[in-house]
Chain A
Amino acid sequence: MSGPAPFDRSLLRLRRDRAAGRIDAHDFLIREAVKDSLDRAAFTTRSFDRALAIGGAGLTGEEMAAGPMADRIGWLAEMDLSPRMAMRTNSPAFAANEESLPLAEDSLDLVLAPLTLHWINDLPGALIQIRRALKPDGLFIGSMFAAGTLAELRECLTEAELEITGGAAARIAPFADVRDAGGLLQRAGFAMPVSDLDRRRVVYRDPARLFHDLRGMGETASLSDRAPALKRAVFARALALYAERYADEDGRLPATFVIANISGWAPAPDQPRPKAPGSAQKSLAEALGVKEESAGEAAQPGKPKP
């Protein structure tokens, strides 16, 4: 990792500690991410002897018990950066830092990290640690808020602050651009990496509820470079801009959350793997049972176009 770490991990821990007591009222996005990660595990049709949930607000145990993975996960532990958050679950649990995982090598069959990865400073490093903790052919399923999350709010805050103070500070965490999430997993040594994006619009009758939810989830920005407190006038102006630009007919405000899902397998010798490029013995047309047609002029290397 080059440059200073963008996220203040002790501040994040504090925020999660504080959120632990009242997260129930604000956990809908986290609960959905937990369910989604379990559904993705269920989709593999495998059973997993030992599983770990990193993050997930202590909801993975109860969601697992209520869903299709109930008899396909033999044992589940839950982990959180915040000891208080870790204590919320009835599963065996521990507190640990996602950036230095205390996990024995080859000890787990499944690692879930629902809505956990966006506060990690060194994501490639964390992914390598997770891959090492997995047994060969073990599965990792993680998700994070990605670029585009809270785009409306970010735009209105920046504009309001520029208007009133003549400058603007980062108020919302930078989100990873996950177009290369597959590459990220591959560099961390995962086989068969998969990534996709989910876009969620949450509609708020009262914009204050959005802030309650963010704080309630422990998701207000935990940035190393903390901006000075937001002026009341800036905040009021930002909300006015938000309403002006985004309110629907009933005056409700939408907030966009973009969730990036990534998954991959710890490599194992008998896994299916792609063949080397150029090693095919048959043409694609032959494999598909169609007639190959010329696409027009062949490229002529070395000859510049007129």
Chain B
Amino acid sequence: MSQTSEKTKHEVDPRLLEILVCPVTRGPLVYDREAQELVSRKARLAYPIRDGVPVMLPEEARELTDAETG
């Protein structure tokens, strides 16, 4: 195990991105590093990442605008 350093704590582990899908549609997620969000286009939801921890709860997700999905 080599994942305990403070530096990596706030970056999403890339292998997490490989196991996660959208809990609503079970479709793929796109990692938005800038916004720290995991985006499900199909569900029109952006799941927040807080301190490197993706919060995969639809009730905590931001709804995408038409501009974002278009």
Binding site for B on A (CB under 8 A): 50, 52, 61, 64-65, 70, 75-77, 83, 86-87, 90-97, 100-104, 107-108, 133
**Which residues in B have their C-beta under 8 angstroms from that of A100?**
23-24
Give the total number of A-B pairs whose CB atoms are below 8 A apart: 73
CB pairs A–B below 8 angstroms (7 shown):
A61-B1, A92-B15, A94-B56, A96-B57, A97-B23, A102-B23, A104-B18
Query: Which chain B residues numbered 7 to 54 have a C-beta less than 8 Å away from chain A?
Result: 9, 12-13, 15-16, 18-24, 50-54
CB of B23 within 8 A of CB of A83, answer: no
Residues in B with CB closer than 8 Å to A86 are 53
B positions within 8 Å CB-CB of A: 1, 3-4, 9, 12-13, 15-16, 18-24, 50-57, 60
Closest 6 CB pairs of A and B: A92-B13, A102-B23, A96-B56, A102-B56, A94-B54, A107-B19
Residue contact A95 to B53, C-beta cutoff 8 Å:
yes
Q: Is the CB of B55 within 8 A of A94?
A: yes
A residues near B16, Cβ cutoff 8 Å: 77, 92, 94
> Which of B15, B20, B22, B52 has the most chain A CB atoms closer than 10 A to its own CB?
B20
The answer to whether A83 and B53 touch across the interface, beta carbons within 8 angstroms, is yes
Contact A90 B4, CB 8 Å, known A95-B56, A102-B56: yes
Q: Which residues of A lie under 8 Å from residue B53 when comparing CB positions? A: 83, 86-87, 93-95
Q: In the assembled complex, how far is the CB of residue A116 from the closest CB belonging to chain B, in whole angstroms?
A: 16
Q: Which residues of A contact B54 (CB under 8 A)?
A: 94-95
CA distance A133 to B21 in the complex (A): 11
Of A75, A77, A97, A108, the residue contacting B57 (CB under 8 A) is A97
Pick the most buried of A95, A102, A107, A133: most chain B CB atoms within 10 A of its CB: A102
| Known contacts A83-B60, A87-B53, A90-B4; A96 and B21 CB within 8 A of each other | no
- Docked Cα-Cα span, A187 to B19, in Å, equals 24
Q: How far is the CA of A100 from the CA of B52 in the complex (A)?
A: 21
